[in-house]
Amino acid sequence: MTDLKFTKAQGMGNDFLIIQTSDVASLPDASRLARQMCERNYGAGADGIVFVAPDDRPEADFASRIFNADGSEAGVSGNGTRCVAAYLYHHGLWNESEISIATVAGVKRGHLVSRDGSRFEFAFDMGQPDFSSKAVPMSIAPIDRVMHYPLRIGGDVLEVTCLSMGNPQCIIFVSDLDEVNLAKIGPLLEHHPVFPDRANVEFVRVISRDEIEIRIWERGAGHTLSSGTGSCASAVAAAVNNLTEPSVRVHTEGGILQVDWQSDDHVVLTAAAEIIYEGRWLLE
């Protein structure tokens, strides 16, 4: 037998298994490992696993790749990236106030806001949103901004706002989140034919000009308590629809995240990540 060291971390209830490696470019067993390790009853249990390694490029301190619980690879995860940062600080692998982590969707730069034991708060620049149908992507005639788009689900038509935050996001505004049957409609939207790469889905209730509440169905993970990129997408979608200000507090089932859509078009996500435990995964 051999074993694989991992660290479990959570970002507002969105949990990840962090695995350090020498190179994230070659991970032949990553999909299988994600399916096994993330299984809640027979594995360690998580929404995804993240591999992290030092990066010798000048623009990034570390490189990462994230795999969802179903084995598919994600472009980026806001909560996952913060969990990786927490892992690096917790294990003494990084101690400067600024950190840059490369993802499949580009380099994300963060700032350590505070630390309390194994709990870390970071502000990460999550990049610029792209509302074009090509960026999402969507298999429709090109649209510069996908807003108020009528999406047919069975016999119903939902009005959606779609965008890319480095991954595909589909947002639906509702007046009552309790009336949303997430387990039913989430998979239908995730796998809708209009999204060739599937989609992350957020149902959003506007509380005020400064606050929103969301429910999340993540591509490859299903119902999750929180999502960093989903929170960013929900916030900018609310702002572009003139329902909120560009800076809002996002209430998720796992906690509150702060999203600031800045004047330079960059979205800054501020929230905590916490180290939970360390373990060894036994491999045949």
Q: Which whole-number Å values give the CA distances from 56 to 10, 95, 162, 255, in the listed order?
A: 27, 17, 35, 35
Mean pLDDT for the stretch of residues 149-158: 92
The answer to whether domain 2-127+271-283 has CATH 3.90.420.10 is no
pLDDT band at 169 (very low <50, low <70, confident <90, very high): very high
Do 103 and 64 form a contact (C-beta atoms < 8 A)?
A: yes
Q: What percent of the chain has pLDDT over 70?
A: 99
In the structure encoding, which two tokens stand for residue 109, read together? 């730069």
Residues 6+ apart with CB under 8 A from 111: 97, 98, 99, 122, 123, 124
Using CA atoms, how far apart are residues 266 and 284, in angstroms rounded to an integer? 45
pLDDT band at 3 (very low <50, low <70, confident <90, very high): confident
SS3 content of the chain, % helix, strand, coil (to 5): 15, 45, 35
Mean pLDDT for the stretch of residues 89-116: 96
Q: Which part of the chain is CATH 3.10.310.10?
A: 2-127+271-283, 146-265
CA-closest candidate to residue 21, choices 63, 70, 76, 82: 63
Q: What is the pTM of this model?
A: 0.94
How confident is the model over 198-218, as pLDDT tens digits?
999 999 999 999 999 999 999
Angle, CA 12 vertex, CA 8 and CA 14 arms, to 5°:
55
pLDDT band at 56 (very low <50, low <70, confident <90, very high): confident
Find tokens 């890319």 and name the residue. 164
Phi and psi at 102, nearest 5°, equal -80, 135
CATH of 146-265, one of 3.40.50.10880, 3.10.310.10, 3.40.50.280, 3.40.309.10: 3.10.310.10
Find tokens 């400067």 and name the residue. 96
How confident is the model over 59-94, as pLDDT tens digits?
999 999 999 999 999 999 999 999 999 999 999 999
Mean pLDDT, rounded, of the chain: 96
Q: Is the pLDDT of residue 284 over 70?
A: no
Mean pLDDT for the stretch of residues 98-110: 96
How far apart, in Å, do the first and last CA atoms of the chain sit?
6
Using CA atoms, how far apart are residues 227 and 66, in angstroms rounded to an integer? 14
